[in-house]
Structure 1
Amino acid sequence: MSLAAGSAPWLPGTLAVYDRLFAAAGLEPARVQHLALAARDALTGWAPDLAAELDRYAEASGLPPWRIHAVNARTELLAAAEAASRGECSAVAGANRAGVMIGAQTWDWHQELSAGWAVLEYPQARFPFVTLTETGLLAKIGINSAGLGVLFNILIHSSDTGDGGVPVHAVARRILDSAADVEAGISILRSAPLSASSCFTLLDCRQVACLEASPAGVAELPLARWSVHTNHFQDPELAATALPAAPDSDSLPRHEVLLARFAEESATPAGGPGNAAEELADLLCAHEADGAAVCCHAAATAPLGAGWQTLATIALEPAGRRMSVLAGGPCGRPEQRWRRFRAS
């Protein structure tokens, strides 16, 4: 399923929500257009085929190109507005009991966009891939036919300007469609001039790498049996110049809860989480009563910008080239069933 075919029905609603989010962050329409076109220019210089793909999508949708480029650069635009974030997404990856690499994450975002995502398949890419992504975005979380997976967390750094950088979601797309392994993915990430920050957890059949990327540089975190990342910098140098967390941020508590759960699981006779990536959902199923809301539920009455919700739970198995997706948070099982996709 292509970008246009997979997202066209939900595009108007998604654009409307982002218009409201940008306005709430203090971005006037003229500023949004300027930043979107600056992102388009940066993407054209770095990956002209991806910029052209978005232009074609805009044309097919009857929209000026900047409208689609603005959505793809939503992280950059919100960074330009210095929009404080509670934080979103918790990602884990490592070797299961059998020594096989697996990974999973929750994807937390605004509840108003709960219907604004899809799983897209790109069979014609250099490495065919599947990705869970927002309506109109090139890619986000996914896995390709080489067995390379991408998990994704937003970060906030003092070097973020949001102006004139390659959108981080376009970087995720390029990694998925062009990288055969973790090393190739790292090379692609390091080649991109950024104007906003994100954490990329890359995993293949042999290894996991967790990279914190910002306009100030890219840091690869030390190897650990289990990589656990939420929404704050862990690299000491980047952390020293990161922006202060929002007052209501729960990134540190989520990180601590997950570290404790993985340590406890690793100390059992079984020696760690189960062999299937989907079993990681058990460890991600933590709420406020457990110490932090890894599985996040928004109040229906929360105002725009404050209604954080786990919109999907994703599990990756590089050896099987498989991505499993659960609509909503991990606590939704078994009423909600996993949808399984294979990159081939």
Structure 2
Amino acid sequence: MFPCIDTLGAASAFERGQIYGREAQDRIQHSVVTYARLFAACGIDWASACDRAMRFEPVIKQVDADLIEELRGMAQGSGQTLGSLMALNCRTEILPATFLADAPHLKEAARAALATNRAAGLPDWLHEAAWDHALNDGECTAMGVTAAASQTGQAWLAQNWDWMGRQREALVVLHTQGPSGQSITTLTEAGMLAKIGINQSGFALGLNILRSVRDGSRLGLPVHVLLRHLLDCTSVAHARERLHVLQTELNLGFGAASNVPCADAEGQVACFEVSPVGWAEVTPTDGVVVHTNHFVCESLLSEQAPVGPGLSSHSRLSTARQHALRTPIGQADLEHFLRDESDGFLSICRSPDPSVPPESRVESVAGIIMQTQPPAMWVASDVPSRVAFEAVPLAAASRQLTERLDPATVS
């Protein structure tokens, strides 16, 4: 299982970051090296990536200034710069809209960015690799099950997180808290504020990367900051209200595209597609919602950026929908879903293809299943077909919530 970092005893946001940075120092450095290479493949050297990320600081402060303090503490604890931590948390916004498409024209820019990184003393984990095969796909498959479609009467959320297998060595389980004081458990890449997780209210969320033609065109809220912000919600309805406030009342919106699948203790599920032009909701069909890596909401279809042939998003969605028909659905069914290898190396459960160069190998880095009532999480810490799902102890409640949060409040 992945290392667990508990920051709930910290006296301040800065101290939470210090604890996280100190205990995950080596894994944060691993993340930096991974993303420095990935950005370089897109023609962006690490110093430039840090500069781009720092432009998002005022947006994050407007939503939750404590998160900037937490990142400052993380920088101090890990020995990284604030810019490096910002670059990790803004990685989706820094990656160009063409990231998931073949872009051979970037080859020379990639060589130049890599040379700049080397001159700055940043190690290259693939110094012998050819740039012709730079990573150009990323996959995740998610399923949300309502209480009505569940075998056990509560909602579930399950997904595989598909990415560079190298990043498995950077994963941590983080116990932290939101502005309301409620505890949060999130499986995330070291250095990032959150990714896939659940809180003490039984609200769970995940992530599927999407690509919009407008990614990076505006200074909206970064995706991984949005995940941490939404993990303070109490329900799907509450998350819906938060998205409305961010888009309409605060006029901030989102810096890049992603899908955020959600489930709650009230038995509800939904997927929220976000993009720089707005957001839309995918509702369940017969009590189940599934999602992969392309827009499905009609209002956002025109935002879809081109994707490369290695992204099997439409075929995986079709396979996922077949699993969604097998109601009522329980934990064993979700494990079976996340272990589906029926589409070979482009399956829901994706093993690394040995015929593909190392820098292009995408795999199911981990599988996650979350139960909303009572809150619980199970994680497969490798390709799910190879390992068991293990229970993850959740964060202890940092304080007892005496009343439900006001859904219109944005801290």
When the two structures are superposed, what TM-score results if normalisation uses the length of structure 2? 0.76
2:131 matched to which residue of 1?
none
Percent identity between the two aligned chains: 29
The within-5 A match list for 1:292-331 is 292-299=346-353, 302-303=356-357, 305-331=359-385
Tell whether 2:51 aligns with 1:44.
no
Report Cα offsets for 1:173-230 as digits up to 9, x if no partner.
1111x21111222222341521101111111022112110111111012332111000
Output the CA distance in 1 between the equivalents of 2:289 and 2:361.
27
Say which of 125, 134, 144 aligns to 1:93. Answer: 144
1:10 to 19, 27, 41: 27
**Change in CA separation of 1:223 and 1:293 when aligned onto 2, cut-off 3 Å:** closer
Distance 1:19 1:106 in 2: 24
**Compared CA separation, residues 262 and 209, structure 1 to 2 (3 A):** closer
Distance 1:309 1:63, change over 3 A: same
Map 1:1-344; keep pairs closer than 5 Å.
1-2=6-7, 3-79=20-96, 82-84=99-101, 85-95=136-146, 96-122=150-176, 126-161=181-216, 164-176=219-231, 178-190=232-244, 191=246, 193-206=253-266, 207-224=268-285, 225-263=287-325, 265-266=326-327, 272-274=328-330, 276=331, 279-289=333-343, 292-299=346-353, 302-303=356-357, 305-333=359-387, 336-343=388-395, 344=397
Bigger mean CA deviation after superposition, 225-234 or 21-30: 21-30
Between the aligned partners of 2:81 and 2:97, the Cα distance in structure 1 is 21
CA contact (8 A) 1:87 1:250 kept: no
- What is the deviation of 1:260? 1.3
SS at match of 1:129: strand
Task: Out of 179-188 and 13-22, give the one that drifted further.
Answer: 179-188
Bigger shift: residues 109-118 or 71-80? 71-80
Shift of 1:303: 3.4
Distance 1:240 1:48 in 2: 34
- Residues 25 and 83, structure 1, Cα contact 8 Å, conserved in 2: no
Q: 1:228 to 1:11 in 2, by over 3 A?
A: same
Query: Does the Cα contact within 8 Å between 2:203 and 2:235 map onto a contact in 1?
Result: yes
Q: Which moved more, 1:167-176 or 1:285-294?
A: 285-294
Q: 1:273 to 1:16 in 2, by over 3 A?
A: same
- 1:21–1:304 contact (8 Å) kept in structure 2: no
Shift of 1:315: 0.5
The Cα offsets for residues 62-91 of structure 1, whole Å up to 9 and x where unpaired, read as: 222101100111111113664534231100
Distance 1:284 1:61, change over 3 A: closer
How far the C-alpha of 1:16 sits from its partner, in A, is 1.0
Identify which range, 139-148 or 110-119, moves more after superposition.
110-119
| Distance in 1, Cα, partners of 2:276 & 2:56 | 14
Cα 1:104–1:323 shift into 2, 3 Å: same
Q: TM-score, normalised by structure 1?
A: 0.90
Which 10-residue stretch deviates more, 132-141 or 233-242?
Answer: 233-242
Seen in structure 2, the aligned counterparts of structure 1 residues 211 and 8 have a Cα distance that, compared at 3 Å, is: same
Instruction: Give yes or no for contact 1:143–1:316 (8 Å, CA) kept in 2.
Output: yes
More deviation, 106-115/95-104: 95-104
Mean Cα displacement is larger for which, 21-30 or 123-132? 123-132
Describe the shift of the 1:327–1:162 C-alpha distance in structure 2 as closer, same or farther (beyond 3 A). farther
Alpha-carbon RMSD: 2.1
8 Å CA contact 1:39–1:166 kept in 2: the answer is yes
Task: Provide, for residues 287-344 of structure 1, a one-character-per-residue CA deviation record: whole Å limited to 9, x for no partner.
Answer: 25469411111135743541101111101111011111110122124xx451322343
Structure-2 change in CA distance of 1:57 and 1:298 (3 Å): same
Q: Match for 1:112: what amino acid?
A: R
After TM superposition, give the deviation of residue 29 of structure 1 in Å. Answer: 3.5
Q: 1:129 to 1:30 in 2, by over 3 A?
A: closer
> 1-side partners of 2:355 and 2:81: how far apart?
34
The one-letter code of the counterpart of 2:282 is L
Separation in 1 of the partners of 2:138 and 2:97?
Answer: 17
Q: Distance in 2 between matches of 1:17 and 1:154?
A: 17
User: Could you tell me how far apart the structure 2 residues matched to 1:37 and 1:291 are?
Assistant: 37
Is the 1:92–1:227 contact (alpha carbons within 8 Å) kept by the matching residues of 2?
yes
Structure 2 residues without counterparts, runs of 5 or longer: 1-5, 8-19, 102-135, 247-251, 398-411
CA distance in structure 2 between the partners assigned to 1:215 and 1:54 by the alignment: 24
Runs of at least 5 residues in structure 1 that lack an aligned partner in the other structure: 267-271
Q: Deviations over 1:228-250 (max 9, x none)?
A: 00000000120123112222210
Per the alignment, do residues 236 and 124 of structure 1 end up closer, same or farther by CA in structure 2, a change over 3 Å counting? closer
In structure 2, the residue corresponding to 1:114 is in which secondary structure? helix
Q: Per-residue displacement from partner, 1:243-281 (whole Å, max 9, x unpaired)?
A: 122222101111001111222x23xxxxx222x3x5401
Contact 2:219/2:255, CA 8 A, preserved across alignment: yes
